């Protein structure tokens, strides 16, 4: 069984950074750099039995302080009448000013291959360049897709994470994942996000330029202090966290539903 703990933590890094990704894109643009490599969407891909839904519903949702029911694409299609309706819902969310990530579970295996969706991803990535002002949303999707055939112009705007292994047997888990799920809260998320927001107000030009190469560098750096309190800083060293396109079956490079306003 492959150790995919770094892929899982990558999803949490995205979630911690998501509410300020619009600010990071804006800062990068102000330096004259291209913000295209800073994603607007996270796609968690893998097999149907790999625990993606458990990860986002039992862990990621409470981690960001969201207690609303997990939203599936099929529910959106049923509610809004068609695939186009669900895409329009996502588009409305992206432009609503809400910054907490919209989490949508089990999108169709061909969802990311569609021309309409790929066009929307490009549209969302270009919102600020086209004059959109104010906060901008992000989306987290899970899918059983084995891989999306995206245009090159779209790939750089989507962060892929591969989750292909099931959870370890209970007797092999350092922490029982079922018991751990009941202890998840939003304290770490709020601490990292608050610190990240403060740091973004006082960055040098060189630090801003670093986002073009590694847009999670500051989040990973901030995360080291609370991890160190529990002796985990060596398990997840900040210098290893570099975003990469990770498709199912490939080894990663080290490195929401109708939502209440908060």
Task: Determine, yes or no, domain membership for 125.
Answer: yes
Mean pLDDT by 10 residues, the chain (262 residues): 74 94 92 87 84 88 92 80 80 92 88 85 84 86 72 80 76 76 90 96 94 92 89 68 46 38 37
Task: Determine, yes or no, domain membership for 178.
Answer: yes
- Give all strands (DSSP E) within the chain, no chain letters: 41-45, 71-72, 102-107, 139-143, 158-162
**Cβ neighbour number for residue 254 with a 10 Å cutoff:** 11
- Among 226, 158, 164, smallest CA distance to 195 is for 226
Enter the pTM of the model.
0.84
List C-alpha distances in Å: 56 to 47, 102, 103, 141, 169. 15, 11, 8, 9, 20
**pLDDT tens column, 23-63:** 999 999 998 888 888 999 999 988 777 788 888 999 899 99
Task: Determine, yes or no, domain membership for 21.
Answer: yes
Domain total for the chain?
Answer: 1
CA distance 256 to 233: 31
Task: Determine, yes or no, domain membership for 190.
Answer: yes
CA distance 52 to 36: 27
Task: Determine, yes or no, domain membership for 41.
Answer: yes
CA distance 217 to 240: 9
Task: Determine, yes or no, domain membership for 256.
Answer: no
Task: Determine, yes or no, domain membership for 248.
Answer: no
> Residue 192 sits in which domain range?
5-240
Q: Is 226 left (phi over 0), alpha (psi -120 to 50) or beta?
A: alpha
């Amino acid at each position: 069984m492959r150790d995919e703990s770094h892929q899982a933590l990558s999803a949490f890094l995205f979630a911690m950074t998501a509410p300020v990704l619009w600010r990071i894109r804006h800062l990068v643009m102000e330096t004259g750099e291209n913000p295209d490599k800073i994603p607007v969407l996270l796609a968690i891909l893998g097999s149907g039995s790999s625990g993606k839904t458990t990860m986002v519903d039992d862990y990621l949702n409470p981690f960001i302080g969201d207690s609303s029911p997990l939203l599936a694409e099929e529910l959106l299609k049923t509610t809004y009448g068609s695939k186009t309706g669900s895409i329009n819902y996502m588009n409305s969310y992206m432009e609503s000013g809400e910054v907490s990530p919209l989490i949508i579970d089990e999108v169709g295996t061909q969802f990311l291959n569609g021309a309409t969706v790929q066009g929307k991803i490009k549209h969302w990535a270009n919102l600020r360049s086209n004059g959109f002002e104010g906060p901008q949303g992000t989306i987290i999707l899970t899918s059983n897709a084995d891989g999306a055939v995206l245009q090159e112009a779209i790939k750089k705007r989507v962060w892929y994470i591969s989750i292909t292994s099931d959870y370890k047997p209970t007797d092999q888990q350092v922490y029982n994942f079922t018991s751990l799920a009941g202890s998840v809260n939003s304290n770490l998320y709020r601490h990292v996000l608050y610190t990240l927001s403060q740091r973004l107000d006082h960055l040098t030009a060189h630090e801003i330029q670093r986002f073009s190469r590694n847009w999670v560098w500051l989040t990973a750096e901030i995360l080291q202090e609370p991890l160190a309190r529990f002796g985990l800083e060596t398990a997840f060293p900040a210098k290893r966290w570099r975003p990469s396109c990770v498709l199912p079956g490939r080894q990663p490079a080290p490195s929401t539903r109708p939502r209440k306003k908060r």
